[in-house]
Chain A
Amino acid sequence: MKRVFRLLLIMIMVIPFVARADMGAPELELYEAYVMPEGGADYYDYNPTTKEYTVKGHLNEGIIVMVESDYEDGYVGVFISSVNQNGIMKVTDIAKMDEVKPDSPYVSKEEKPYNAKVAKIGGLEVKKGPSEKYEYAGWIDKDKVFTVRYSDYDGSYVYIDDGEVKGWVNGYRGDLLYNQPSNYILTKSLKIDNVTAPKDAIVHSEWCTDMWGRSAVLEYNNAEALIEVYKNDDMILLEDEVKVLKTKKTIKTYSNIDYYGDKQKGTLPEGTELYLLGYGVDSNDDFGKGYVFEKGKTEGFWIYMDESALDEVGYEKTSNATKQEIQETTTTVAAEPKEVDTVENKTFSTRDVVIISAIVGVVVALTAIVVIVLINKKKKKAETTTVESTIDVPVETTTVDNTQEVKADNNNEEVK
């Protein structure tokens, strides 16, 4: 028993080192900082022989640098990505970027705010700035919808402020879906979840990933699936209107045009009117082919977009051209969030739910401990009472004339 205890004690003491090593705690925490002085600041080179700092260059106010190392005498080593150089700067010339607020010069304001939805299972971390290196600011659950009004320079991070949590989230590769309703026409049959949508069906999409995710959630007959749509000729993105073309000469039509070869379908005579639904990528990786409907018909096919063979004659509504209903693609976004200022209006936040659950857990645990103590205390009392009742009573002896009788209450022996 003591050996087991000792073993366990050693295990507990080892945990912090194991956990720390496992989590890879670095010795120097890199952090981003920006150049503070209004007129900018110099950055230096250090000469170890002469122990002097010589000016290497000048950075304008607001330039962001990555602080990599500590030098003595109030200097730090930095990497300046804008000039792709290392240098040394005075600590007093830079300020740590603890939090990037929407009014920062490095934040883009969206002209048309749009909604975003958390798609990552388990939710997403919210950071204080648009980078993994910023401090933790909070957590948002999966399926949470919020309005994007600000993003960083390349749109990989977007700003969330829903009254509960404020900060930046990374929507990289499908962790966030963006509300950009659109319609697609299928150029071949496509499986969406467990439903097969036929060729020339129009499918709607409410949500799509960022440009790196290149995908959209396509919906058809109550089924939905996240499918790559960028440069995918299986579907053509539809606009509200389509171009009307007229053939100037006989042209070939195709059921398929791709790297593996063209499958000719037939020909169209001069003077045929066509609705151009969208462009596809040809074997030269150019948008040199078009998916069209012949006017009055509802079966699509491909043609080469040859300017010498086609004239643009006008526009037509897509619903008229395809003779199918097209879903609306306008969106509404929530108004700017207001601070919740009355207790009655405040509902339980995620944070409240977690704290209350933890408190309930502790109370339940303590109650169970009390119950364990009580039931086992009773058990001990019961055992003690049983032991007392089995103690032997002393034997009585009586003498009668020449015989002795020995009587025992609790045993069967009789001596005469």
Chain B
Amino acid sequence: MKISDLPLVMVRCLLLTILIEGIIAIIIGIRNKKDILNVILANIVTNPIVVSLPFVFLITYGYKYYRISFYVLEIITLIVEGLIYYKVLNYKKINPFIISLILNGSSYLIGEIINHI
């Protein structure tokens, strides 16, 4: 991947994440249409920032800071999405932060598998 392809990469990552997390959300029991929409919107809140911000650190401070920022942002994503689910989801069977962990963990793992194929 070239850094100059970042806009395309952001779009691709967002679409894949929405698709994967949408499917996983349905599998774990989130069936309400509004809830699914909120899951999608939560990913739109976090995903573009998580993908693009590490590259700002990369070009400004180097590779070491790119890796650090990537991990920190992933953890912040878990918390932010958990908070969003806590506030807006009607689905109450699973703790919203656990939902965030399941969805983000699945999209991260599946993303890694896709990248290595």
Contacts and interface: CB of A to CB of B under 8 A. Distances in A.
B25 interface: no
Contacts of B46: 365
A334 interface: no
Contacts of A1: 86, 95
Contacts of B1: 122
A355 B55 CA distance: 9
A375 B34 contact: yes
A365 B44 contact: yes
A351 B59 CA distance: 7
B59 A360 contact: no
A365 B84 CA distance: 13
B88 to A, nearest CB: 5
B44 to A, nearest CB: 4
A361 B48 contact: yes
A279 B3 CA distance: 44
B23 interface: no
Interface stretch (A136-144, A220-228, A229-237): A136-144
Nearest to B55: A354
Contact of B58 (A11, A139, A143, A361): A139
Contacts of B67: 23
Interface string B61-74: 11110011001100
Contact of A357 (B55, B71, B82): B55
Contacts of B53: 358, 361
B2 A141 contact: yes
A11 B75 contact: yes
A376 B88 contact: yes
Contacts of A360: 7, 10, 48, 52
Interface residues of A, number: 36
Contacts, number: 102
A19 B42 CA distance: 26
A361 B75 contact: no
Contacts of B84: 372
A379 interface: yes
A368 B39 CA distance: 11
Interface string A134-158: 0010110111000000000000000
B3 A354 contact: yes
Q: How large is the interface on B (under 10, 10 to 19, 20 to 34, 35 or more residues)?
A: 35 or more
B88 A139 contact: no
Contacts of B64: 23
A413 B63 CA distance: 77
Interface in A368-391: 368-369, 371-372, 375-376, 379
B30 interface: no
A15 B72 contact: yes
A362 interface: yes
Given A19-B71, A372-B42, A379 B34 contact: yes
A369 B71 contact: no
A354 B62 contact: no
Contact of A361 (B10, B34, B68): B10
B116 interface: no
A15 B87 contact: no
A141 B4 contact: yes
A356 to B, nearest CB: 8
A357 B2 CA distance: 14
A358 B56 contact: yes
In this complex, the member of B41, B51, B61, B72 whose beta carbon has the largest number of chain A beta carbons within 10 angstroms is: B41
B97 interface: yes
Contacts of B106: none
A350 interface: yes
A260 B94 CA distance: 69
A354 B48 contact: no
A364 interface: yes
B71 A354 contact: no
B28 interface: no
Nearest to A372: B41
B5 to A, nearest CB: 9
Interface of B: 1-4, 6-7, 10, 34, 37-38, 41-42, 44-46, 48-49, 51-53, 55-56, 58-59, 61-64, 67-68, 71-72, 75, 79, 82, 84, 86-88, 95, 97
* CB-based closest 6 A-B pairs: A361-B48, A136-B62, A368-B44, A361-B52, A358-B52, A141-B2
